[in-house]
Amino acid sequence: MGENSDIQARISWFTIQSTDLQAVAEVLGLDHVRSEKWQETIQPEANTRVYVAQDNWVIVEIYDWDYNPANEADMSEDIDEGCAVAVEALLVKLSQQFGEAQFFEFDTEEWCGPTSWMLARNGQIIRSFVYSPEFPPSWRNMGEPTATESFIDWSRVQELESWSEEDWDEWGEHEAENEASNLVTGWQGMGPASVETIKIAREWSVDPLTPVDLSAVCLLGTGRF
């Protein structure tokens, strides 16, 4: 994966079972699409890069896509929740066209943004997990965890989902000592981040850290949720 020419803390990408870059760009509704040779950075006027990765998968890197719901009434007070719903809708469209589509996201700066992994097949959301690190933390946890996610103690996640505000306040009073141990077994710290997200991406489809063929052609464009 590359990087935007601006400082990028949030890392987000789609993985689609296809090699047809133009078809993927069309389903995503990208504007100002153009073809270019691979470069490590992309210019600010483009916030999306589409390229063929290994094993016949397409990776779509996205940078700071705007969340613009169809009407103001749909604007959720929880932007992370609203974006998750918008991503799921895109995954449904992509998987209808290509059979399987995935989405991954994490923040390189701890406590700054959500961590996500989602999977859709044949127009159906199979798995959608979003962790928001704001205190108290919150989860969007849909579908059965896949075998790849077995390193996470999901019974603990279910327990935490039922915690009341008073439970979190009590935990917060002892935060310093709690920081020394994982809040959820299998995570390093309170919640998942880059290590867990990349581990799941590798098992579900392709490793996003695999070096790219520098002679390859990619598509650049502008996208939004």
Q: Report pLDDT digits (tens) over 150-185.
A: 988 888 788 878 888 888 787 777 655 555 455 665
Q: What is the DSSP string of 27-94?
A: HHT-EEEEEEE--SEE-TT--EEEEE-GGG-EEEEE-S-B---SSGGG--SSHHHHHHHHHHHHHHHH
Residue with tokens 């990408």: 13
pTM of the full structure: 0.86
Residue 128, both tokens: 């959608």
% residues pLDDT > 70 (the chain): 78
% residues pLDDT > 90 (the chain): 40
CA 152 – CA 2 distance, rounded (Å) = 29
Say how many Å lie between the first and final Cα of the chain, rounded.
21
